[in-house]
């Protein structure tokens, strides 16, 4: 069977509607009920207060396709984008939720039925994990569903125990993986090779059954709940018989549009994947009211836009191109997300403006570089902190600075640059200890929660491209 992303989304929601779930539209990427969270990063976010019992709905079962962003904050997949087959900054999480209604047995049964009957996935391609102490889930998978025991693994708390915060609702998870086959590198869940792209986690079932007290004890919840999340792009890859999310319908179309916009014919270029990913997160963030700025959410948005622009220039883009991809995105996703359609003009304008401003910033960076170089003796070495400032403040890739200096017969203090970079990373790490508690600190230390793009990924044509 082959299904489009739109068909899968509909099939999922209908499946759960038939089983008594209320279809709830996607919420905004800006969490309305949680000032501590950077972006909506899971389907359960809009239901957080329902799980906590402080919000009541007139349903006890819900299903949604929630738009999510994982860039910055506790879950940051930005640096995975373009490198793994399965990570995006923006993705859609299909979920079903039980608020004190059904529990493990039904949640596992629904997931299995949807995958193997509705979507007709071959059972032998599916692997599952349970939390190491969760014998109940293990037994359901092994005895009731009939998954062979060599395809069930018990995993520790790091990956298979979920909690909302240091206290409050929490519980074990069970994850379902799909085996993409021998021609893809990677190992089964729980092995050192699991980070490869062969066995891909498609669905995570969270069984909220405890309330963690301040002293760490776990009190059973009187009415346990369920929260599940399946990445639409990952299941689309499975159903479209491709090994990478970037080869699914939505991404192929975006990659083609991006290739045309930057003027390359190499559809395999990794940079195109990055651009195709980033146009989605940037557009949806702007649709939800974020604008590029120097702090907080706006800063994260700015860095994503610049990363995309940088990759475009790497491929030879001559001038602003990123904003021109919005039309294709609206064509692809507008039906499912009407808010994207009405925001189209606003998104294009904001992106174009940022592209132009980035061009000017790059020029200012050039003049800073010129000034710094003017003070150097013949054959001198540019200090690492200046190189870092160019990188961090002016968005100059390390390689670009290195190239310009080399052309003029100067050197560069690489160790100093790396030290400055390491210092920034240490700050970022400190900030990430706040975990989900994204807070006011982010605005004070704008670079902190966002370690940005890999520091050596620039290329030399960028200044020419952005010259007015
Ligand atoms: P992974 O281990 O692959 O990073 P995860 O365990 O962090 O995934 P969960 O937090 O369990 O992911 O989210 C539920 C589901 O959402 C995952 O099973 C996956 O299908 C999907 N998902 C998670 N992160 C991403 C992402 N960055 N891009 C696309 N889909 C994602
Ligand atoms: Mg992850
Ligand atoms: Mg995982
Ligand atoms: Mg998971």
Residue 78 Cβ contacting ligand 1 at under 6 Å: no
Residue 438 has a pLDDT of 36
- Atom 20 (ligand 1) nearest CA: 231
Please check whether residue 290 is in contact with residue 336, taking contact to mean a CB–CB distance below 8 angstroms.
Answer: no
Residue 452 has a pLDDT of 30
Dihedral of CA 129/133/137/142: which sign?
A: positive
pLDDT above 70 covers what percent of the chain?
A: 91
How far is residue 35's CA from residue 48's CA, in Å, rounded to a whole number? 13
Q: β-strands 61-69, 22-23: how paired?
A: parallel
How far is residue 275's CA from residue 263's CA, in Å, rounded to a whole number? 13
Instruction: Return the bridge partners of 182, or none.
Output: none
Residue 82 Cβ contacting ligand 1 at under 6 Å: no
Residue 201 Cβ contacting ligand 1 at under 6 Å: yes
pLDDT beneath 70: ranges in the chain: 397, 430-468
| Ligand of minimum distance to the alpha carbon of 227 | 1
CA 35 to ligand 4 center in whole angstroms = 24
- Atom 30 (ligand 1) nearest CA: 231
CA 281 to ligand 2 center in whole angstroms = 17
Residue 367 has a pLDDT of 86
Q: Which of 38, 201, 239 to mutate to test the pocket of ligand 1 (most atoms within 8 A of CB)?
A: 201
Residue 454 has a pLDDT of 27
At residue 83, φ and ψ (nearest 5 deg) are -110, -35
CA 200 to ligand 2 center in whole angstroms = 11
Residue 464 has a pLDDT of 23
Residue 72 Cβ contacting ligand 1 at under 6 Å: no
Q: Which of 40, 231, 233, 239 to mutate to test the pocket of ligand 1 (most atoms within 8 A of CB)?
A: 231
How many CA atoms does the CB half-sphere of 118 hold within 13 Å? 20
Residue 431 has a pLDDT of 58
Residue 87 Cβ contacting ligand 1 at under 6 Å: yes
Please check whether residue 450 is in contact with residue 299, taking contact to mean a CB–CB distance below 8 angstroms.
Answer: yes
CA 101 to ligand 1 center in whole angstroms = 25
Residue 233 Cβ contacting ligand 1 at under 6 Å: yes
Instruction: Return the bridge partners of 208, or none.
Output: 225
Residue 456 has a pLDDT of 23
CA 203 to ligand 4 center in whole angstroms = 7
Task: Please identify, by atom number, the ligand 1 atom nearest to the C-alpha of residue 235.
Answer: 20
CA 225 to ligand 3 center in whole angstroms = 20
Residue 91 Cβ contacting ligand 1 at under 6 Å: yes
CA 299 to ligand 2 center in whole angstroms = 22
CA 312 to ligand 2 center in whole angstroms = 26
- Atom 31 (ligand 1) nearest CA: 231
């Amino acid at each position: 069977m082959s299904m489009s992303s739109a068909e899968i989304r509909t099939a999922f929601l209908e499946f759960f509607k038939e089983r008594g779930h209320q279809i709830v539209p996607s919420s905004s990427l800006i969490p309305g009920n949680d000032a501590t969270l950077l972006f909506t990063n899971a389907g359960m976010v809009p239901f957080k207060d329902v799980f906590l019992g402080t919000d009541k709905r007139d349903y006890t079962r819900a299903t949604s396709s929630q738009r999510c962003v994982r860039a910055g904050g506790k879950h940051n997949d930005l640096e995975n984008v373009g490198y793994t087959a399965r990570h995006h900054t923006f993705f859609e999480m299909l979920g079903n939720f039980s608020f004190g209604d059904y529990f493990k047995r039904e949640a596992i049964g629904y997931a299995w039925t949807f995958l193997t009957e509705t979507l007709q996935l071959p059972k032998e391609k599916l692997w599952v994990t349970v939390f190491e102490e969760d014998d109940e889930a293990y037994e359901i998978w092994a005895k009731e569903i009939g998954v062979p025991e060599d395809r069930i693994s018990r995993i520790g708390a790091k990956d298979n125990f979920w909690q909302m915060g240091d206290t409050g609702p929490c519980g074990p998870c069970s994850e379902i993986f799909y085996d993409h086959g021998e021609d893809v590198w990677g190992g089964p869940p729980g092995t050192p090779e699991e980070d490869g792209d062969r066995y891909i986690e498609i669905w995570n079932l969270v069984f909220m059954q405890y309330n963690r007290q301040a002293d760490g004890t776990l009190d059973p919840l009187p009415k346990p709940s369920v929260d599940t999340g399946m990445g639409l792009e990952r299941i689309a890859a499975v159903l479209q018989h491709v090994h990478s999310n970037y080869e699914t319908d939505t991404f192929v179309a975006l990659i083609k549009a991006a290739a045309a916009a930057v003027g390359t014919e190499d559809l395999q270029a990794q940079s195109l994947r990055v651009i195709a990913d980033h146009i989605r997160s940037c557009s949806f963030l702007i649709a939800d009211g974020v604008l590029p700025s120097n702090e907080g959410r706006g800063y994260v948005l700015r860095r994503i836009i610049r990363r995309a622009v940088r990759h475009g220039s790497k491929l030879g883009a001559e001038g602003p191109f990123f904003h021109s991809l919005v039309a294709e995105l609206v064509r692809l996703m507008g039906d499912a997300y009407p808010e994207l359609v009405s925001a189209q003009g606003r998104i294009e304008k904001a992106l174009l403006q940022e592209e132009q401003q980035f061009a000017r910033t790059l020029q200012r960076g050039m003049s800073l570089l010129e000034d710094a170089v003017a003070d150097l003796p013949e054959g001198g070495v540019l200090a690492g902190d200046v190189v870092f400032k160019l990188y961090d403040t002016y968005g100059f890739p390390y390689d670009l600075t290195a190239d310009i200096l080399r052309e003029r017969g100067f050197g560069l203090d690489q160790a100093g640059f790396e030290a400055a970079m390491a210092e920034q990373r240490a700050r970022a790490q400190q900030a990430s200890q706040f975990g989900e508690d994204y807070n006011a600190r982010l605005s004070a230390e704008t670079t902190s929660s966002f370690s940005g793009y890999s520091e050596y990924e620039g290329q030399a044509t960028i200044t020419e491209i952005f010259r007015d």
